[in-house]
Amino acid sequence: MIFERIFKLRENHTNLRTEVLAGTTTFLTMSYIIFVQPAVLSTCGMDFGSVMVATCIASAIACIFMAFLANYPIALAPAMGHNFYFAFTVCGPVVTGGMGYPWQVALGANLISGTLFFLLSFFGLRELLVSIIPDSLKNAIAVGIGLLIALVGFEYGGVIVDTPGALVGLGNPKYPEVWVSLFGMMVMGVMIALKIKGAILYGIIATALASIPLGMVQYQGVTSMPPSIDPTLLKCDPVKIFTEPGFISVIFVLLFLDVFDTIGTVVGIGEQGGFYKNGKIPRVKQILLSDALGTVGGALLGTSTITSYIESSAGIQAGGRTGLSNIITACLFLLSLFFYPLIKMIGGGYQTSNGAHLYPIIAPALIIVGSMMIFNVRKIRWDDPTESLPSFLTLSIMPFSLSITEGLSFGFISYSLLKLITGRFRGLHWAFHLVSVAFLVRYIFLKM
């Protein structure tokens, strides 16, 4: 059988039926990104339909690369957190703390970071990039991104609103979008507690159904031909990024987040799936190459950083052990292209009576994903002030400033200063201090 020859099913103690089930399970757990990604990137002027098409095609291509290059059941798609950095920090208005880059330039930065990741995969520098970051800061970064995602989710659902004199406050409970968002959050929470696979997707569907009688969802159909990808296809501008202030920090953050996410996911999934051999994961270079190629392809098509998804663990729990399950996941991403009316209906948001454009149906998914990322907070060394204060600054500045870059800056600079002043800097790699100085110089010369 051709599948046996390519994916070595018997050698990996699996079969065709198990791999199909695993690939379907993985898709169900991560398919919420099809609704979320267009909603997030459309806030910076990108075409909703084009981003949806780019997301599905780029995810499918990356999954296929992973299947044939590495033969692992590790699915890929646009990364949560990276998309918010892209939309709210890199492309966000300067008046709200963003850099104000056009989305074409941001895609160009994504293309460059993906290319650098590709090159690093050959020279072994990827491990250095991650190893220079102390463990406490690594965990604080994950928590901070989770809090940022959750905050945006609360805002999208009208649960948290702009309040004069206090910046933020609780939304009016009389508004239906608040109750719809909270309802969706509890539905997802219950299904996750009951260990129902695809809980986030099912929760999105349940929230959409609850929104229909309230007039938040207008029926637009279920299937159609895919929308055009022309508005974003090959629109990335990797040249103009070098004329923008702060371009080095943008590329560094995009690259660091991609490498950090990928290696963290691969390590976690490798342990769960029993992929370690003699303390190492075989074909790890091919895993990273697949991720890098996915990011490059995504930038060319018109979507933000593609990375390995921890949700792949659901498929591994269902028995997935080879790249064949990734082929199934890829096919389902491509099939989703024909459900654009449904995706637009759910992810397109709606206009409230007071003129705000909210996304109460996808808001619960953001809140839930954010809550899952808080897990890492317990791994921070809270008993050591030189570890705890930088970690706290990192995880708190990210949501408060709506910027991953600012959280990293505060964390890096304070960590270096505290370690230097207390005479404990020798355990740190010199490259870490170099990055801290770069962040400090950025404030001195670029934040005036």
Read off the pLDDT of residues 236-289 as tens digits, 9 standing for 90 and up. 998 887 887 778 878 888 887 787 777 767 766 776 677 767 766 788 788 888
Give the pLDDT band (50/70/90) at residue 356: low
- Is the pLDDT confidence value at 45 over 60? yes
pLDDT of residue 391: 93
Answer yes or no: are the C-beta atoms of 336 and 347 closer than 8 Å.
Answer: no
Give the pLDDT band (50/70/90) at residue 97: low
Give the pLDDT band (50/70/90) at residue 369: confident
Give exposure, 284-312, as e/b (b: 16+ Cβ within 10 Å). bebbbbbbbbbbbbbbbbbbbbbbbbbbb
Name, in order, each residue with C-beta under 8 angstroms of 109's C-beta and a sequence gap of 6 or more. Answer: 90, 101, 238, 241, 247, 250, 251, 254
Read off the pLDDT of residues 215-239 as tens digits, 9 standing for 90 and up. 777 777 788 899 999 999 999 998 8
Mean pLDDT across 74-92:
88
Q: What is the pTM of this model?
A: 0.78
- Is the pLDDT confidence value at 130 over 70? no
Answer yes or no: are the C-beta atoms of 44 and 303 closer than 8 Å.
Answer: no
Closest listed residue to residue 82, CA positions, set 41, 127, 52: 41
